[in-house]
Chain A
Amino acid sequence: MGTLQRGISGTGRGRVSPWDAAGWLLMLPTVVLFAFFVWEPLLESIRLSLYSAKGVRLQEFVGFKNYVDVVRHPDFWAAVRNTFLYTFWSLVIGFMVPIVMAVSINEMFAFRSFYKIGVYLPNVVPGMATVLLWAFLFRPGETGALNILLGKLGYPPQPWLSNPQWTIPLIVATLTWKSAGATTLIYIAGLQGIPSELYEASIIDGAGIWARVRHITIPQIFNLARTLLILQIIFVFQILYEPLVMTNGGPNNASVSLMLLVFRYAFEKYDYPKAGAVSVIISLILVFLTWLYFKLVKEQDTQGA
């Protein structure tokens, strides 16, 4: 938007004024859409969470009753615990994958584009298809793809997703397969922004590949990685359709997530105020995590300086 605005007004007057009508007109659709589709629903769902309702028709103000009810619900704490587990496993399994892929692809001489496309392909697959595909791979019994492979190696079939210890890590593996490619491309873009003189100088100084990665590549993409870290936490924290389709929160609540509770309140019970209450709780946790992150980063930066 910014560049466009300067471009148009620039041809007319050669300076930028905050009251430039054309500029504002250009922005108007976005502002309207933003207010209508983003802020209004956000505020509305906070309001909804404080009322009782029939469908989406508000009935009466009930204060924090909906919040008390959802927190007391037997599934709530399991969902909170699991949501943090999803985030934790996504950092363990998923965070380094795009970095490693980006660095390896960046170090390649031949077939670079081929690999770039290759890692991005899973992103092109529609989400539901991905989930169903992996559900087939993880299918228990002798007809599951992974179990067929295990069978060829002489191992008995495994229950995969219905083993409560494995459910979340396997769902996170699916998630990583699906979305790591896009992040890899961002890292590759970041890596290609690193001035080649740095590498040339280090090669002249006799640095090997590991030294180059450690002393040049990692420090150069550190800020990017930090930003992507918080984005990943926000993204994974709202995990919904993978557990919804693959396990429906089971077995015995082993994979239920906070967003899944929102889905159940809204779409299984048509209890929108409670769905609103859980959504607000999710946002509050995310706001807190983001605040914590910026505080830590700031401290680190000040110490570093």
Chain B
Amino acid sequence: MKRVVSLVALLLLLVGTLSAGGAGEQSAQKEMVVLKLGIWPEETMTGDIELHKEYVKRFQQKYPNVKVVPQHYKYSVDTFVPLAESGQLPTIFETWFTEPQKLIAGGFVKDVTDELVQLGWIDKMNPSVRQLLSDENGRVYGVPRDAYALGLMLNVALFREAGLVDANGLPKYPKTWQELAETAKIIKEKTGQAGMVILAKDNAGGWHFTNIAWSFGARFEVQKDGKWIAQIDTPEVKAALQFVRDLKWKYDVLTPDPTSEDWGTGFRGIGTGTAAMYLAAQDAVNQPTMTYGLPVEDLALVPVPAGPGGQYSLMGGTPYMFAANATKDEVLAALGYLEIMGKAPVLTDDVIEGLRADAANRKANGVPVIPTFPAWTDPEYLKVQDEILAEYRNVDMRLYQDYYDVIKKPGVLRPEEPMLAQDLYAELTKLLQAVLTDENADIDTLLARAQKNFQSLLDAQVNNK
């Protein structure tokens, strides 16, 4: 008897285990288009959620046949592939500016060229941003949320404390890298806080360093006879690396350990007043202010300093992308939602309303309301956008104007190096770590090794194809 009971119990257990996995929800209504909104704000952002609830209300009036499913998704490398491979990705989601090429190559995202053509958006996209979101055949896989161009972010309070302000109270910021070293030194001496944040923890370190090295005249990749050639072991890169080394060992103006600084900790330094200067873009002004509580009037964004090789600003875009299994209708619904949000390059009432709501929300959260860096090039659209942003302006534009003036100069903006950018950054980060942790690191040997390493990657993955 005992045995029979145990047998039955076991069978029940097995059946239970097996069936648990199979019961899935099936959407009954076929004619309804389901829009899974991965760009829904996370739970803690209550203000943003209210904003989106309003968006949804207006969206539903326009698209009654679309069922909106709020599904906050924060892109992260450890959850992305399982979601994508199992077809569970939200219809539309936001990712990082480093990811589009990787996602396109992996077949994780949908080609939305036809939909963009249908809506007439395609030609209004900033060409360099469009290139970032396209495959080698020119098919487009994403829509820019915004574009960015690096500048130098300042904690104005520290400048004030160090006496580095003019009669109007505006910071006397450095125009060249040499001036930056001297300014940083004064700040360190007067306030005890770090003058400059140099990142050296992950690839963001190499990413920032390319911008520094460009202004010393470096060009990291060139194409010769159809082959890509690495140019790391050059006098220009050497000069830039020497400069970073001097910031640490000669001027001693960096944070205690640059090898533990990544993109986010840099903003913490600026936001909490433990560092005065940091390479950062206009799309991240919410980081030191909203996230780390810096008052808006203490933040400034100025141009990247110039070097002996010129003045450059690294640019790119932050994209929205779409699940590979999204249907045409779903993509169109998602794009319609972007229109409601004011992220579309068209001038409907919805867009204007969306832009207005976004600016108001920024103002309410203590985020500087400053001009965007145009991901869309339609002049009419940009004009209206600027007007709306000006209405909600909560900062002294003199703290930002030079930045916008400089990035409008021809030749200043520069996209990432075209081939294997992440691998290049990885090699450069290693260089930074070497010179920042060892005062006597032999730069020549390091550069020669990095050159050899990166060339071997180019040969294996690009030249060999």
Q: Which residues of A contact B (CB under 8 A)?
A: 8, 11-12, 21-22, 25-26, 28-29, 54-57, 69, 72-75, 135, 139-144, 157, 159, 161-164, 247-248, 250-253, 267-270
B224 within 8 A of A: no
Return the chain B residue nearest A268 by Cβ.
B77
- Knowing A55-B85, A55-B107, the reply to whether A270 touches B256 (Cβ < 8 A) is no
Q: How far is the CA of A159 from the CA of B433 in the complex (A)?
A: 12
Between A and B, 29 residue pairs with Cβ closer than 8 Å are A8-B6, A11-B2, A11-B3, A12-B3, A22-B3, A22-B10, A25-B10, A25-B11, A28-B14, A54-B106, A55-B81, A56-B85, A69-B461, A75-B426, A139-B256, A139-B257, A140-B256, A141-B255, A143-B256, A159-B437, A164-B437, A250-B430, A251-B259, A251-B436, A252-B437, A267-B77, A267-B78, A268-B422, A269-B102
Interface string of B404-439 (1 = CB under 8 A from A): 000000000000000000100011011101101110
Q: Looking at the complex, which of B110-118, B142-150, B349-357, B452-460 is the stretch in contact with chain A?
A: B452-460
The reply to whether B84 and A140 contact each other, CB–CB distance below 8 Å, is no
Interface string of B1-15 (1 = CB under 8 A from A): 011001100110110
The reply to whether A29 and B85 contact each other, CB–CB distance below 8 Å, is no
| 18 further A-B pairs in the complex, CB-CB below 8 A; given A73-B457, A269-B102 | A11-B3, A12-B3, A21-B7, A25-B10, A56-B85, A69-B460, A139-B256, A139-B257, A141-B256, A144-B256, A157-B256, A161-B260, A162-B260, A162-B437, A251-B437, A252-B430, A252-B433, A269-B422
The reply to whether B6 and A22 contact each other, CB–CB distance below 8 Å, is yes
The reply to whether B430 and A270 contact each other, CB–CB distance below 8 Å, is no
The reply to whether A253 and B106 contact each other, CB–CB distance below 8 Å, is no
Chain A residues with Cβ below 8 Å from B255 are: 141
Checking B85, B431, B457 against A74 with a beta-carbon cut-off of 8 angstroms, the contacting residue is: B457
Checking A22, A135, A270 against B102 with a beta-carbon cut-off of 8 angstroms, the contacting residue is: A270
Checking B7, B422, B427, B460 against A72 with a beta-carbon cut-off of 8 angstroms, the contacting residue is: B460
Chain B residues with Cβ below 8 Å from A157 are: 256
Return the chain A residue nearest B435 by Cβ.
A252
Q: How far is the CB of A132 from chain B (nearest CB, A)?
A: 12
Chain A residues with Cβ below 8 Å from B257 are: 139-141, 159, 162
The reply to whether A247 and B107 contact each other, CB–CB distance below 8 Å, is no
Range, interface on chain B: 35 or more
From B108, B259, B453, B454, name the one whose CB has the most chain A CB atoms within 10 angstroms. Answer: B259
B338 within 8 A of A: no
- Knowing A22-B7, A74-B453, A139-B257, the reply to whether A251 touches B434 (Cβ < 8 A) is yes
Q: How far is the CB of B89 from chain A (nearest CB, A)?
A: 12
Chain B residues with Cβ below 8 Å from A253 are: 430
Chain A residues with Cβ below 8 Å from B14 are: 28-29
From A55, A75, A144, A247, name the one whose CB has the most chain B CB atoms within 10 angstroms. Answer: A55
B46 within 8 A of A: no
Q: Which residues of B contact A (CB under 8 A)?
A: 2-3, 6-7, 10-11, 13-14, 17, 77-78, 80-81, 84-85, 102, 105-108, 200-202, 255-257, 259-260, 422, 426-427, 429-431, 433-434, 436-438, 446, 449, 452-454, 456-457, 460-461
The reply to whether A163 and B460 contact each other, CB–CB distance below 8 Å, is no
Q: How far is the CA of A56 from the CA of B80 in the complex (A)?
A: 12
The reply to whether A74 and B259 contact each other, CB–CB distance below 8 Å, is no
Q: How far is the CB of A254 from chain B (nearest CB, A)?
A: 8
Chain A residues with Cβ below 8 Å from B201 are: 248, 250
Q: How far is the CB of B241 from chain A (nearest CB, A)?
A: 13
Chain A residues with Cβ below 8 Å from B102 are: 269-270
Chain A residues with Cβ below 8 Å from B106 are: 54-55, 270
Q: How far is the CA of A54 from the CA of B434 in the complex (A)?
A: 35
Q: How far is the CA of A159 from the CA of B446 in the complex (A)?
A: 21
Q: How far is the CB of A119 from chain B (nearest CB, A)?
A: 30
From A21, A252, A268, name the one whose CB has the most chain B CB atoms within 10 angstroms. Answer: A252
Checking A22, A28, A55, A250 against B259 with a beta-carbon cut-off of 8 angstroms, the contacting residue is: A250
Return the chain B residue nearest A33 by Cβ.
B17
Q: How far is the CA of A273 from the CA of B357 in the complex (A)?
A: 46
The reply to whether B3 and A250 contact each other, CB–CB distance below 8 Å, is no
Return the chain A residue nearest B202 by Cβ.
A248
Return the chain B residue nearest A68 by Cβ.
B460
Q: How far is the CA of A269 from the CA of B203 in the complex (A)?
A: 13
Checking A73, A163, A250, A267 against B429 with a beta-carbon cut-off of 8 angstroms, the contacting residue is: A250
Return the chain B residue nearest A11 by Cβ.
B2
Sorted nearest first, the 7 A-B pairs with minimum C-beta distance are A141-B256, A74-B453, A251-B433, A140-B257, A252-B434, A54-B107, A267-B77
Q: How far is the CA of A159 from the CA of B434 in the complex (A)?
A: 13
Chain B residues with Cβ below 8 Å from A162 are: 257, 259-260, 433, 436-437
Q: How far is the CA of A272 from the CA of B438 in the complex (A)?
A: 35
Q: How far is the CA of A254 from the CA of B429 in the complex (A)?
A: 13
Q: How far is the CA of A157 from the CA of B10 in the complex (A)?
A: 62
